[in-house]
Amino acid sequence: MLPQLLQEVSFAVNGRTIIDRLSVEIAAGPRTVILGPNGAGKSVLMRLCHGLLKPTAGVIAWRGPTNGGLRQAMVFQRPVMLRRSALANVIYGMRLAGITPGECEMRARDVLEAVGLLHLSARPARMLSGGEQQRVALARAWALNPEVMFLDEPTANLDPGATRDIENIITQIHASGTKIIMSTHNLGQARRLADEILFLHQGRLVERAPVEPFFRHPGSAEAASFIRDEIP
């Protein structure tokens, strides 16, 4: 599938431009973090890339071979848990992807173990804590063995402990060979997780850089200001 190419992509609702003529090519490999303040258009950009929204102008395309199907998954800021067990939530996504029931069960248990929730697999998913629900959502996405995983501010609603768990899992998922494309407004998280930064400001891609140079010498006034405003 990868690389993913965005050419002059715009997205507007009711005449308000949210993404403004954005062009970028996202390649396999490094963890790409989309960084920017609230309202920069990060969530919309993720949804455009994932295919949940159609751009009002421009083209989004997968440049690599897709072999008949897109192996991609997305984890949202608010995990949406179905009214069934954690295990059944993971299996639900795999069944939709056409995986056989026997294989589903085995793989679902494996990923729940990997996110540290095997002991809660029989619990109704909605009765789990926010952090646990997000881990189930990660497991559900991971179980699909996607080539690309989009994560839209996956820790924005979580406390520091739960955030650390999620970040560790994201690192594991990346290590297992899945491309990570994640949005955040949290600078610490961007430092910890990113290999490269796409800095978004008012719907425009202002800067793209590897994480080290981005934080040491931001190349744009907007990014410099955003970094400087960090509350320690």
Partner 1 sequence: MNEISQAFGVAGAMIFGLDAKLIEIVLLSVRVSIVAVVIASIIGLPLGAAIAVGRFPGRQALIVVLNALMGLPPVVVGLVVYLLLSRAGPLGEFGILFTPSAMVVAQTILIVPIVAALSRQVIEDAWQEYREQLRSLGAGLMTSALTLLWDTRFSLVTIVLAGFGRAAAEVGAVMIVGGNIDGVTRVMTTAIALETSKGDLPLALGLGVILLTLVLVLNAMAYWVKEAAQRRYG
Which residues in this chain contact partner 1 in the complex, by CB under 8 A? 47, 50, 52, 73-74, 76, 80-84, 92-93, 96-97, 124-127, 140
- Residue among 115, 215, 122 nearest 169 (CA): 115
Distance between CA 90 and CA 113 in Å, rounded?
12
Classify 33 as helix, strand or coil: strand
Angle (CA) 73 78 80, round 5°: 65
- Nearer to partner 1 by Cβ, of 85 and 214: the residue is 85
- Tell me whether residue 83 or residue 217 sits nearer to partner 1 (CB atom): 83
Q: Is 116 left (phi over 0), alpha (psi -120 to 50) or beta?
A: left
Q: From the CB of 80, what's the least distance to partner 1, in Å?
A: 4
The candidate with the shortest Cα–Cα distance to 151, out of 5, 38, 55, 43, is 43
Report, in Å, the least distance between residue 124 CB and partner 1.
4
User: Nearer to partner 1 by C-beta: 126 or 208?
Assistant: 126
Nearest to 108 by CA among 120, 118, 96, 119: 118
Q: Which is nearer to partner 1, 35 or 74 (CB)?
A: 74
Minimal distance in Å, beta carbon 75 to partner 1? 9
Q: Which is nearer to partner 1, 76 or 214 (CB)?
A: 76
Could you tell me the smallest distance in angstroms from the CB atom of residue 55 to partner 1? 16
Min dist CB 177 to partner 1, Å, is: 20
Q: Name the one residue in this structure whose structure tokens are 């729940």.
A: 112
